[in-house]
Amino acid sequence: MTIEVDLAAPLSIADLRAAREPITVLVGPAVRERVTAGRVFLAKVLGDDRAVYGATTGFGALVGYAGRADQRDQADNTLAHLGAGQGPDIEPDLARATLLVRAHSLARGDSGVSPHVVDALAAALGTTFAPAMPRLGSVGASGDLIPLGAAAQALRGRGDAYLDGRRLPAAEALERAGLEPLPLDGRDALALVNGTSLTTAATALALDRVRASHRVIQLLTCVLADLLGCDPQFLDAGLLDAYGHPGAIAVAARMRATLDGVTPSGTRPLQEPYSIRCTPQLLGAAEDALRYVDGVVAADLASVSDNPLFFPGADRVVHGGNFFGQPAAFAADLLTMVLAQLGNLAERQLDLLVDPVRNGGLPPMLAAGPGQQHGLQGVQLASTALIAEIRRDAMPASIQSLPTNLHNQDIIPLGTQSALRALDQSRLLSLITGSLALGLRQAVHVGARTPTAPACAELLDALADAIAPIDPDRPLEAEVRVAAAIAESRSGLKNL
């Protein structure tokens, strides 16, 4: 069944996930009325010989010079110079989410864009079409100019695009998809590129993945504590109420529910290592940070990121900086900090689990026959490499401002880099949590006690049904991904 997304309604992260497949984008009467009103007002403004950036002027640092008189030529003038991106293409799924975010922004009617532009974006999203957009080139200051410029060109039948996952010349992809090349004038072209839609889409999808991993680690921590026989007093409601942080209180409540019915073994130390004992504080701080990112993403998904904006009712054309992606830059960098510490936690929990000194006497590396077999040894090595990769790239991008564009863009947010990096790293984090889940499954095979909390037993049963014991050794890269998917499906969030 094809999912419908109404451009008159708020846009959600679920909508962005859905856009990886063909979706029905509804451009209803209310949207068409306000987009048309903005377009009619633009014509009036131009007829009054008012200055409108990008319609009557050059671009960026060349704003003081006149643009091309023919508006179709002005579209070429806008897009040709942006064909300077480098690096690999962004993933087609992300490119399609970007088109949906841009369509929603333009559908607000404040951009003076032609109604047929919104229709064309909706039509493209109804197929498997995705523009080929270069990963490198955006500084996130005047929006995602270079990657969105490539998207606009692909919609015109220039450059390259993907159809059914295959990279083709854009004109061929349009024809095979049954789409017409998109005609643009100067305002249309600028409205397509002068926003943060790629940054917003990448930040939103990264948030979705990190939230999934956050819930997974809560679940896996409970399973680890149950298998080891830990006393759950570190989750005590009175203890966390005294701590006073809302995220920690909420996380501890969820973990207590997961551990409902648990029976401590009575053989563990009075105080567990911090990777167990301090999880409500660590994961609670992550929850508080993620709630901040929730708000930024919600605002970005509802925003009009463009310049200038047109307000027919007030007879105003307003030039400003709504394309400046600082909120998402800060939010995506915060996501990177959160996911790095989540990865640190999961990697340390795996280390605890494979260590016979701390795991209650289970064999080293959870090997069924130590020496003759090696259990989780390779998986742990890979997890160490994964968290090192995440930590190496954890330097915030949002503070790396460099002046560019003849000092017109004399300060820049670099949100695109922040967002794309957070999305990349969120995928690595899920591999670390999958490694921990695989270790928990193996621990039961080599002598860990049967879980006493029903919710913990349920997850381990699901893992055992899907993954055979590591006995004898075998390659485990596929099982790590299977374990990650099972844990995500059982954590209360949609598996990504």
Q: What is 145-193 written as a DSSP string? A: HHHHHHHHHHHTT-SEEEETTEEEEHHHHHHHHT-PPPP--HHHHHHHH
pLDDT digits (tens, 9 = 90+) for 100-114: 999 999 999 999 999
CA–CA distances in Å: residue 441 to residues 160, 445, 448, 473: 45, 7, 10, 15
Q: Which residues are catalytic?
A: 53
pLDDT of amino acid 179: 98
pLDDT at residue 115 is higher than 70: yes
> For residue 13, what are the contacts with CB-CB under 8 A and spacing of at least 6?
204, 205, 207, 208, 297, 301
Sheet holding 166-169, edge to edge: 130-131, 160-163, 166-169
Q: Are 67 and 57 in contact (CB under 8 A)?
A: yes
Closest by CA to 322, choosing from 188, 135, 191, 189, is 191
Q: Are 172 and 120 in contact (CB under 8 A)?
A: no
Superfamily of domain 4-195: Fumarase/aspartase (N-terminal domain) (1.10.275.10)
pLDDT digits (tens, 9 = 90+) for 184-230: 999 999 999 999 999 999 999 999 999 999 999 999 999 999 999 99
Which pTM was predicted? 0.95
pLDDT of amino acid 493: 37
Q: Which residue intervals of the chain bear CATH 1.20.200.10?
A: 202-490
Query: Using CA atoms, how far apart are residues 32 and 25, in angstroms rounded to an integer?
Result: 13
Q: Which residue intervals of the chain bear CATH 1.10.275.10?
A: 4-195
> Which residues partner with 404 through β-bridges?
409
In angstroms, the first-to-last Cα distance of the chain is 19
pLDDT of amino acid 61: 65
pLDDT digits (tens, 9 = 90+) for 436-453: 999 999 999 999 999 999
CA angle 435-438-440, nearest 5°? 115
CA angle 143-146-150, nearest 5°? 120
List strand residue ranges (DSSP E) for 245-318, in order: 309-311, 316-318
User: How many residues are there in the chain?
Assistant: 496
CATH architecture of 202-490: Up-down Bundle (1.20)
pLDDT of amino acid 495: 33
